[in-house]
Structure 1
Amino acid sequence: MEKQEIFDKIKTALIEEFEMDEAKLTPEARLYEDLELDSIDAVDLIVKLKSFLPRNIDPEVFKTVRTLQDVVDAIYNLIQNSESK
């Protein structure tokens, strides 16, 4: 799965589940400041994304994400690491 496809899935989840304005959903958008997600929203987002993830996400990985691009990169790395095993 390519990064653009991951970004599109995250974007769709944010629009459908959190009723976010599509114009705000850029790779540089900060999760907490720009998108006003709180920690519970972040967990809900992860649950929504689990359907296309190869395995569970290590919560430690997501403690460092700040932008949508960070989320894309973390998921991409998770998928790549799972495929190489």
Structure 2
Amino acid sequence: MDKASIIEKINGFLVEEFEVDAEKITPEANLRETLELDSLDYIDLVVVIETNFGFKVKPEDFLTIATFQNFYDYVISKVSEKVTS
């Protein structure tokens, strides 16, 4: 799966699961503010990631994720690790 496909898939489930306008999802936008995430929403986000991409998410991984670009980079790196292992 290439980067563009991963980003497209991420944006698709964010729009569907978190009911956010696709136009608000830009690489530089703040993930937490745009999706209006609370602690329960983070759990939902983790479940959606694990279900869609097949890797385990550690809570501490989210400490460095501020923007959608950070989030894309995180998922892309985890998918790449999974493919190479």
1:21 lines up with 2:21 in the alignment:
yes
In the superposition, relative to structure 1, how do residues 16 and 54 fare at CA in structure 2: closer, same or farther (>3 Å)?
closer
Structure 1 segment 1-80 matched on structure 2, within 5 A: 1-80=1-80
Partner amino acid, structure 2, of 1:54: G
- Identity in percent: 40
In the superposition, relative to structure 1, how do residues 17 and 52 fare at CA in structure 2: closer, same or farther (>3 Å)?
closer
Higher relative contact order (CA 8 A, sep 6+): 1
In structure 1, what is the equivalent of residue 81 of structure 2? 81
How many residues in Structure 1 have an aligned counterpart in Structure 2? 85
Q: Secondary structure at the match of 1:33?
A: helix
Q: In structure 2, what is the Cα distance between the partners aligned to 1:43 and 1:9?
A: 19
Give the TM-score of the pair, scaled to structure 2: 0.82
Q: In structure 1, what is the Cα distance between the partners aligned to 2:76 and 2:50?
A: 13
Question: Over aligned residue pairs, what C-alpha RMSD do you find?
Answer: 1.6
Give the TM-score of the pair, scaled to structure 1: 0.82
Partner amino acid, structure 1, of 2:72: V
Superposed displacement of residue 45, structure 1: 1.6
CA contact (8 A) 1:29 1:35 kept: no
CA contact (8 A) 1:11 1:22 kept: yes
Task: Give the unaligned 5+ runs of structure 2.
Answer: none
Q: In structure 2, what is the Cα distance between the partners aligned to 1:48 and 1:6?
A: 13
